[in-house]
Each structure stands twice: as C-alpha cells, then as structure tokens.
Chain A
Amino acid sequence: MDGKEMHPILQVEGLGKSFGKVEVLRDISFTLNKGRVLSVIGSSGSGKTTLLRCITSLEKANKGKIIIGGETVFDAENPVKDSARERRRKQLKTGLVFQSFNLFPQYTALQNVTLAARLAAKESEAYKKDRKAAIEEIRARGLQILSDVGLSDKADFYPWQLSGGQQQRVSIARALCMKPEILFFDEPTSALDPELTGEILRVIKQLASTHMTMVIVTHEMTFAKDVSDEIIFMNKGVIEEQGDPQIVFENPKSARLREFLNKFTD
C-alpha cells in the first residue's frame, strides 16, 4: 500500500433510503481512498442512481452516515440545520455529471463552465477587492478546463451547436470548475450514440491519470474493468459484491454477479 491509499476520502456507513414503503438502498457501506476510481455496476433499478443522489445531496437518505474528507456531511442520527453558506460548502465537496448533461441552454460552453464559479466568487474577498481580476481568473480557469477536455475551439458555442459527446464534455468541465473533491458520474455515456462514447471515456481516463477521485455508474463493462481501481456490484439496493476489478470480473463469487456479467459477454 502506498501512502495515498491510506486516506479515505469517502466513507459511507449503513446508508439506507426508502421512497415511501419501497426500500431502495439498504445498509450500504464502503470506503473510497483519495485518487481512486470506483465503478458501480448493477442491473436497472438496483439503486445506483439513488446512491449517487444521496451522496451528492440531491436526495436525503433515511439511514446512515456520509463522511467526505473526514467531515461528516450527512448523519441520519444527528441531522443538522446548515446555513445556506454551509450547505453550499458541503455541496461543493462533490461534483456530479448527469446522464442527460443538463447544460444550461442559454449559455455558451464557457459560460456554462464558469457561471457557478462566478456566482460563488461574488462572496469572496478577492472579488470585493478586484472584481475584474477575479472574473478574469475564473474565465482563464474555465478556458483551461475546456481545453483539457478537448474543447478549446468550442468555448463560444451554445449547447445546441454541439454534439452529444461535446455537450457531455462541457458538463464534465462545468463540474470540474468547482474543484470537487470527488466527481460522480451517472451513466455518462448512456445518452450518447455508441460512436461518441469513446471521447467521454477518454476524458475520464485522462482524469484518472491526474488522480481525480471518481465514482462512476456505468454499463460499459470493458471500460469499468479498464479504468477502475475498485468495483461495486449492486443488486436490489444492497452491495452484493465489491473488490478489485480483476477479481470481480474474472472470479465473481456471487451467482447474481455471474448472471449479470454473462449478459455482457453474449
């Protein structure tokens, strides 16, 4: 084990979530270390999206605890009423890339990437001192991130002028611009034509090489095996199996996982 792996950045403990009477997540516990990539696989309806939504505060879990970077951001036993500022600070520990991009249609690629950062900056000291410089710095950062995802020539394009793959790359850039500690992806390629998935997977791989901590829900098994340090297989709201990709994919213990994987090798 190298030093990096000693630092858990995400700890999920006994997480549970019900919608009405339906229990969608049950006793979910796992730990993710800094700089690692975790892929979450599992059949439709197994609770993958709900898990991401609970960790990124889009949904409120009913049970358990979520700890990010050593700080408890959610504890069902000890609910806290955060101020708006506190909520924003906790929210920004995570970033989320949606299956359907959810870009803001009236803004250009660059504006999409920088909007939230510009709004957040308004409360900062640097902004109050020198507004122009603060905005220019955010703009430069946005352009840099866009060029990192291979879109430096599309900065002034509106979402409708971009292909699905390009739109998804803008949405990744938008999430990155807020400097999240962990970046979550919910089936980032599912809404794309097959020939466009490659460009997204390349961007994610490139992020992995910069040691960005990521959690990816995906149905791309080859990719998951290739990019991940760890795999979680979910079934009916529980973690059925987890571990090293080599082991999970080559030597699955659970019959359900074997059955699930078989569907992809047909």
Chain B
Amino acid sequence: MGFYEVTLQLLEGFKTTCILFALTLAAALPLGLLFSMGSMSKFKPLKWLMKTFVWIIRGTPLMLQVIIVFYGPGLVHVGDLTLREFLVLHGGMAFDRFQSVLFAFIINYAVYFSEIYRGGIESIPVGQYEAGQVLGMTRSQTFFRVVLLQVIKRILPPMSNEILTLVKDTSLARVITVLELVKAAEQMTAQYGLIWPLFYIGAFYLVFCGLLTILFNLLEKKLSYFRG
C-alpha cells in the first residue's frame, strides 16, 4: 500500500464522514428550532415532554443512542414480528447502518442546538420586544427584524463549538461499522499493519475544523459591527 492507494481509500471514508456531517447539520439546524419552540412553549405538557426528551438525549452517550437506533428495532417485538420486520412489512422502511447513525445524530444535535437557541432567545432583554410593540410592530416583525440577528450573534460562539464537535463525533459511526474516516484507517492498520494512516487522517480532521473555524471567524467579524 503506497501513499496514493491509502489516500484513495481514506477519501472513500472521508466522503461518508462529510455526508454524515452535512446531512446532520442541514437537518438538525431547523429541527433544533422546532425543539426549542417546544421547550419554550406556554403549553405546559409539551414543555415538560420536551424537557424530559432533552434530559434523556443529553444525559446518555451519543454512541449508545446510535447503537439503540440500529439494534433496537431488531430486538423489540410487535406481536410475533420484530419491530424491524414490522416496519419493513408495513412502511417499507427500516434504517440501514448509515441511516441509523444519521437519525441518531440528527436527533442528538437538534437537541443540543435547541438548547443553544433557547438560551440565545431567552437572553434577549424583554425591552427589545416591548420597544417593538409600542412602535406598532407585530410579534413576528419584532422577532425577525429586531431579535433574530441579535440571537444569531449571541449563539455563534456556542454553535461553532458544537459544530466542531460534530465533525469529530462522526467517528462514532464506526461502532456499527459504518465505514467513515477512522474506520477506513483502522482497516489499514488491521490489514496491512500500517500505523501512519491513523496520523494521516488526523490531518483531515484538522484541515476540516480549521476551515470551519475560519468560516466562523468571518461570520463573527461580519456581526461585530454592532454590540448587544
């Protein structure tokens, strides 16, 4: 195995890593907003349901959640079928390995994002809403024209952190043998006794995170024209 072959094979794994990252982000960003609205709801049962859900998702390891989503349906019984068989029969759908990981990631990250959104929204002084109201603006005008950008500015640092963590969390997919970047390197260690690919993939993560950091810094700079 030369450098070229190793690189090609790692790129295969890196592709899975990137897809998992991108799809998780694309789905969890909006889903998190929905969750945060749930946990800020004035309807108490929904609020408590959401709080319990947040507690469970944040209180258990993501790796465990991935394992449960993948193996769970094959072990739980509905009548004399397993849940997996039941789902295939009636809905035609059962998660494959990648989909299981993706599902667990989206839920997990949406929950973390929702807590960041909630913190951001609740940190905006009521005076901003009241100023909007006395000026005759509607609630949604006040939210979208006044509050939102302030929230974005405030949540940018914790969101950046969370998104960088996501890059590295993608490596958890290997617990159910999804061939992402770390798994790809591990295979080479197992098959050819090569150690250096493990260090080599470290560079992949570093570059990926480095580029994201530059992007976040640019965004932060863009929003630095105002304070508050």
Chain A interface residues (CB < 8 Å from chain B): 56-58, 84, 88, 91-92, 94-96, 98, 100, 102-107, 115-116, 119-120, 158-160, 171, 174-175, 178
Is B136 a contact of A91 with CB atoms below 8 Å? yes
Q: Give A119 to B138 CA distance when docked, in angstroms.
A: 9
Q: Give A21 to B28 CA distance when docked, in angstroms.
A: 44
A105 and B228 in contact, given A98-B127, A100-B127, A115-B145 (Cβ under 8 angstroms): yes
Residues of the B chain whose Cβ atoms lie less than 8 Å from the Cβ of A88? 136, 138
Residues of the B chain whose Cβ atoms lie less than 8 Å from the Cβ of A58? 130, 133-134
Q: Give A227 to B136 CA distance when docked, in angstroms.
A: 28
Extra contacts besides A116-B135, A160-B227 (12): CB < 8 Å: A92-B136, A98-B131, A106-B149, A106-B150, A107-B226, A115-B137, A115-B146, A158-B227, A160-B228, A171-B131, A174-B135, A178-B136
Q: Give A164 to B170 CA distance when docked, in angstroms.
A: 49
Chain B nearest CB: distance from A83 CB in Å? 11
Residues of the B chain whose Cβ atoms lie less than 8 Å from the Cβ of A91? 133-134, 136
Is B125 on the interface with A (CB-CB < 8 A)?
Answer: yes
Q: Give A233 to B131 CA distance when docked, in angstroms.
A: 27
- Cross-chain contact of A104 among B128, B133, B134 (Cβ < 8 A): B128
A115 nearest CB neighbor, chain B only: B145
Is B141 on the interface with A (CB-CB < 8 A)?
Answer: yes
- Cross-chain contact of B128 among A57, A84, A102, A171 (Cβ < 8 A): A102
A97 nearest CB neighbor, chain B only: B134
Chain B nearest CB: distance from A63 CB in Å? 22
Chain B interface residues (CB < 8 Å from chain A): 125, 127-128, 130-138, 141, 145-146, 149-150, 153, 225-228
Is B226 a contact of A98 with CB atoms below 8 Å? no
Q: Give A57 to B227 CA distance when docked, in angstroms.
A: 29
- Cross-chain contact of A105 among B133, B134, B137, B227 (Cβ < 8 A): B227
Residues of the A chain whose Cβ atoms lie less than 8 Å from the Cβ of B135? 115-116, 174-175, 178
21 A-B contact pairs sorted by A residue (CB < 8 Å): A56-B134, A57-B133, A57-B134, A88-B136, A91-B134, A91-B136, A95-B134, A98-B130, A98-B131, A102-B125, A102-B127, A102-B130, A103-B131, A107-B226, A115-B145, A115-B146, A116-B135, A120-B136, A158-B226, A175-B135, A178-B136
- Cross-chain contact of B138 among A56, A84, A103, A171 (Cβ < 8 A): A84
Residues of the A chain whose Cβ atoms lie less than 8 Å from the Cβ of B153? 106
Chain A nearest CB: distance from B135 CB in Å? 4
Among B137, B150, B153, residue most surrounded by chain A Cβ atoms (within 10 Å): B137
Q: Give A139 to B145 CA distance when docked, in angstroms.
A: 18
Chain B nearest CB: distance from A187 CB in Å? 14
Q: Give A84 to B150 CA distance when docked, in angstroms.
A: 25
Chain B nearest CB: distance from A98 CB in Å? 6
Q: Give A25 to B89 CA distance when docked, in angstroms.
A: 66
Q: Give A140 to B143 CA distance when docked, in angstroms.
A: 26
Residues of the A chain whose Cβ atoms lie less than 8 Å from the Cβ of B127? 98, 100, 102
Chain A nearest CB: distance from B167 CB in Å? 30
Is A116 a contact of B136 with CB atoms below 8 Å? yes
Q: Give A58 to B150 CA distance when docked, in angstroms.
A: 22
B146 nearest CB neighbor, chain A only: A104
Q: Give A102 to B126 CA distance when docked, in angstroms.
A: 9
